Amino acid sequence: MSLPKHAPTDAHAAPLPIGIAAVVPVYNEAETIEEIVRRLERVPVIRQIVVVDDFSRDGTQAIVQRLVDEGRVVAQFHERNRGKGAALRSGLALVTEEYLAIQDADLEYDPRDFLKMAELIVQHDAQVIYGSRFMGADRTGMLWTHYLGNRGLTLLFNIMFQRWITDMETCYKLFRTSLLRQIGIDNDRFDVDPELTAKVVRAGHKIYESPVSYVGRPYIAGKKIKPRDAFTAVETLWRYRRWRPQPVAAPEPAGVARG
């Protein structure tokens, strides 16, 4: 497959005062994993790249290990296929930056869009930014079943949680790392997207959105999410409609002995 090349990010742009770790769940993406790492390296706000290999069998593991040896990424290797949510959980444990961004390895999204998302963080002191494919940026190759399913799931979320967003199922989700650790990741597979979206609003946070470009790929090229995952998403939204964050325990007064 011929991969499009992106120009380097403008080196003269004023640096933003935040650091983002890109967490990249990867499963059988030997053809694209190094290219997505290369693109992430060109984005100034991306200061850590965390790759979680979910038991790939196509040579991806060897490529990721080489990237680790070159000092370009940190990585976790699963010993069995566990799913996107489990990969994000593993990646979260390795993050050292203040913010965490989710990045698929399939080249459907452009990492340069993280700059616009980071600007919203600075402008609004935001905890959560979603990159929306339905806010006017370039969008090609989206399967009609995915378009209808995504629009329907997003509408259902808006009704159930009394919020307004345009793209619940976007890959590009950017969180303050401490918030993501507070709310946690329960689900192992693609139901992690509705889970996190529900938890964020139930925890009282606003989801800001920024337009992102999108070039979809067909199943023959390795796309993994299936139409049946929409039914799981509905069930997940229902389960988390009354979710509440666990209260943070207050520190004990000085001088109180335990045991």
98-116 residue pLDDT tens: 999 999 999 999 999 999 9
| Amino acid 14: pLDDT | 63
Stretch (H or E) spanning 234: helix 229-239
Please tell me the least confidently modeled range out of 12-16, 48-52, 63-67, 99-103: 12-16
Over residues 121-142, mean pLDDT: 92
| Amino acid 140: pLDDT | 85
Residues 9 and 115 sit within 8 Å (Cβ to Cβ) = yes
138-165 residue pLDDT tens: 788 888 888 999 999 999 999 999 999 9
pTM: 0.88
| Amino acid 136: pLDDT | 77
Stretch (H or E) spanning 168: none
Which residue has better confidence, 30 or 226?
Answer: 30
Angstrom distance (rounded) from CA 137 to CA 134: 7
Q: Closest Cα to residue 207, out of 175, 239, 183, 245?
A: 175
% residues pLDDT > 90 (the chain): 78
Domain boundaries, given as residue ranges, for the chain: 20-239
Q: Does residue 1 surpass a pLDDT of 50?
A: no
| Amino acid 226: pLDDT | 67
Angstrom distance (rounded) from CA 173 to CA 195: 13
**In CATH, 20-239 is 3.40.50.300:** no
The CA-CA-CA angle for residues 245, 246, 251, to 5°, reads 135
